[in-house]
Structure 1
Amino acid sequence: QKIITIPAAMQGLSNPVPRVHHPDWLHKKMLEKNDTLKQRRINELFSAAPKPKPTESSTVEESEEPTTASVRDIEDIGSQAPIFKIPTQPVARTNKRKRDDTPTAPTQSMIATSWRDLLGPPPPMGETEEELQVWLAYQKKKWAWQAERRAFRASMGKKMRSEPEKTASRPSGTLGSFIKKTQHTLLNTPWQIIQGPVQVCRST
C-alpha cells in the first residue's frame, strides 16, 4: 500500500491494486488537491527562474569595448596598420555664479557722490502734464542711480569680506601683509573696552 497504491494516487493515477482500498485520509487529501476553488499557496504559484548563462558573444564584446576613441585612416582599411587612439578630452565647464559675484567696474554714475552731482537740481513738480512727466523722468533716473549705487556697495562689501579669508589662507611672510591684516582686524573687529576702578594714591 505505501509502495504502490498511495504513490499512484498522489500522482493522479487509478488504483493499480483494486483489492487494496485507499485509506480515508488519502481520499481527503486527493479531494483537497483536486479542488479548483481552494486558494493555492504563494510558493505553489511561483518558482525560482534559472539564471541566464553568459554567452561568448557578449563576453567578447565587453572585453573588446574600447575606452578611447579609435580612428583608422581610410587608406589603411583592410590592412594591418595600427589604429591611432585619441584619448577623450574632459569638457571644460564655467561657473556662472563665480562670474556674477565679481563686482563690475565702477561707472561714472557710481563715482558720483550724490544724485545731485550726476543729474543736477531736481525740476519742480509743476501743475501741467508736461512738467509732471519731466519731474517723473528725473525721479526715475534718481531711483535707478540709487539702486545701482546700492548694488555696487553690496558687491564691494562682499569683495572686502572675501579678501581677508584669502589673505588668511596664504602665508603672511611679508611685513606689508602683516600690516594690512592688522589694519583690517582693527577696523572690523568689535572693541571691548574694559575699565577698572580708579584708585587715587595719596602721598603722605
Structure 2
Amino acid sequence: VAIPLELDTDGIWCALPAGFPESYTLKVGTRAEDGTETVTKKIHIEYPEIMLNADTNRKFTNHQYMNLHEDENGVRSYTVSEECGIYFEVDGPYRCMVLSASSEEGKRIKKRYAVFNMNGSLAELKGFEIKRRGELQLIKQFQSRVFDALLVGNSLAEAYGSAASVADVYLDIIDTRGAHLDDETALFMIAESTNMRKTVAESAGNRSAAVTTATRLAAFLGETYLHTPSLKCEYIIASQPVGASVTDRAIPVLIFQADREVRNAMLRDWLQDDSIGQGSQAKKNSAAGQGFTIKSCIQDGDKEGKDGTEDDGPTPFDFRDIVDWQYYRERLSAAVVKIVSVPAGLQGMTSSPCPRVPFPDWLQRQVAQDNTTSKQTHITDFFKARVVGEDDTNPCGMDETEIIPHKPVKRPPQVPLTLANYVSRMKGVPDRSKDYGKWLSYMKGLWALQIEQRAKDIKRGLLHPEREAKRRLVV
C-alpha cells in the first residue's frame, strides 16, 4: 500500500497517498422513538493504525501463551491465554523526510534522517553530526541550515539549488581561510572537542587526536592533565609536520591563549618548524632556502636579524597560516556529497547542484549511462539460464534443411481489459500471506486499471478533477 522509506527498530517510515483513509470520528449515542438522535460521546480513530493492529493481531497472536499461577497452598499451575503485544501508533502526516546517502556505490546509511512538519518546523532529527557533542562546528552549522533549504522551491531543481547555495556559504569559509571572520569565530568554526573517557596514563599506547591534545596540554600547563579524568580536549588540525598523520597534527586550542614565548616554543616543537616566532628577516633567509617552511606565516620575534642589521620588526601571529585547510575542505565536502550531491544524482539530476562538490566517479558514470542516447548492451543480456533437461543443441526440434511453410495464425479477438474481467482473468486475489510477490503484482495491475478508469470518469464529468488532483504522495 505504501512506499517504504526507512525501517527502524521502533518505527516504519513510509509514504501514503493523500487520499488514503486516515482519521475518522465515530459518534456514539441513542435514537428515540421519534427519530431524535442524541450523541453521548465521540470516538476518534486512525484508520491505518486500527487496520495494522487488527491485521497484526489476526496473524501474530500467540494462542497458547502460558501463565504460571500459584495458589495459597503453593500448588503451581498454568493457564492458557491469547496474547499479542505488538501495537502500532501512527504519527504524521509529515511534509518532508530527508535521507542521507552514502558516498560509496551500493551502500546505504541507516538511522539518519530529518523529518519536517507541515508548517516547516523540524519534527525529528536522527543520526546527523548536528546532534553530536564536540563535532566540527562547520559541519553542524551547515546541517542546521541545509535541511530547511531543501523545503524551498516547487521543483527538485529549486530545492537542491537552495541547498547548494547554503553549501557554497560554508565552502567559501574554507576556500578563503576564514578571511571574513574574526579570529574567535574562525577558530570556533574549525575546532573539534572530545571528552576522554580515560586519562592519558590509562590510554597508553592508544593513538587519537584527543590523546595527542591532552599530552600537549600537559606540556605547557602541567602534568596534572595526564591524570585528569573526563578531560575535554579542544583542538584544530595543523598542516605540519608534512606527511604526519592527522592524529599527530592535532593542536590544542588553548595554546593560542598562552604567552607569546610559550606559544612559539610549543608550535616550533609540534610543527617541527624552527621559523615560528622568528623575525621577518629570518623569514626571508628561510624563504631563500635556509629552512623556512611556512611561506606566509605571520610571526613575532626579535627586531634584530642574524646578520646584525635592523629587522623589520614582529608581525602579529595568525593561526590561519598553520591550519590544514585542505583537511577541513574534505570534511565539509563529504557532508555536502551525502546530503546534496548524491541524493540529487540518484533522483535524476544530471549534474551536481553544487559544482564545487561534483558527483563521485561511480555516480557520474551511472548518470551518464542513464542519460546517453546510445546505451551499451552487456553481453550477458544475450544469454539466459538453460532449463534443466532442455536440449539446447536443437531448440526448435527441426532438421537443418527442413522448410516450414508459412501458415497464418488466427488470434482470438482482443477483449478490452476492465476491472470486472481483470478479477475473473486473474482467478481471484492471491493470498498475501502465502505469496506476497504474486499479490503485489496482482494489486499493481488492479491499481493501474483504477487509475485509467478514474481518468475516464473525469473526462466524462463523473468525477471532480480538482479533488482527484489532490491525490498526491505525502509522508
**TM-score normalised per structure 1:** 0.23
Flag the structure with higher strand content.
2
**TM-score normalised per structure 2:** 0.12
Using CA pairs under 8 Å that are at least 6 residues apart, name the structure with larger relative contact order, 1 or 2: 2
| Structure index of larger Rg | 1
Flag the structure with higher helix content.
1
